[in-house]
Amino acid sequence: MTDPAIVLRKLTSLREHAERLRRRRPASAEMLRRDVDLQDALSMSLLVAVQAALDIAMHIASDEGFGVPATYAESFSMLAGHGVIDEDTSRRLGAMVALRNRIAHGYASVDFERIWNELPGGFEALTGFASSVVRHLDSKP
């Protein structure tokens, strides 16, 4: 059984950092490219928000017997396959996982223009994920 208290704590962090991403996204990719401190702030909020979503997805998949995902992105696919989130949210969160991995593991260089371009969709995916998870929790006895 999914522990709502654990999920709700993670959702709080996810929402706070998703809002920071939305609020801090500059007007242009060029502004982001020139501001290293802003790059760091957006990177950290992206890492925390996506990690919270991953933690929630893994928790639900495990506790509800959906299986053990082989990859982070697959955890969202599992939730979509069981109707917790929709396929579009799963796909967009998979793309956010790829960005998270580039930041977390320092693959080559982080493409901040890509981050700037993908933040609006990522913000929508994260907030949509949070709403879907709350609906899922509310549907449980």
Tokens for 7? 């999920």
Q: Say what the pLDDT of residue 107 is.
A: 58
- Token representation of residue 77: 């696919």
Closest CA to 63 of 17, 120, 110, 7: 7
Q: What percent of the chain has pLDDT over 90?
A: 80
Nearest Cα to Cα of residue 7 among 130, 92, 103: 130
- Taking the domains of the chain in order of start, what are their residue ranges? 4-138
Sign of the alpha-carbon dihedral angle for 103, 117, 33, 15: negative
Percentage, residues of the chain above pLDDT 70: 99
Residue closest to 92 by CA, chosen among 119, 63, 55, 57: 119
CATH superfamily of the domain spanning 4-138: bsu32300-like (1.20.120.580)
pTM value is 0.93
pLDDT tens-place string over residues 18-76: 999 999 999 999 999 999 999 999 999 999 999 999 999 999 999 999 999 999 999 99
Instruction: Write down the mean pLDDT value for the chain.
Output: 93
| CB atoms inside a 10 Å sphere around CB 27 | 8
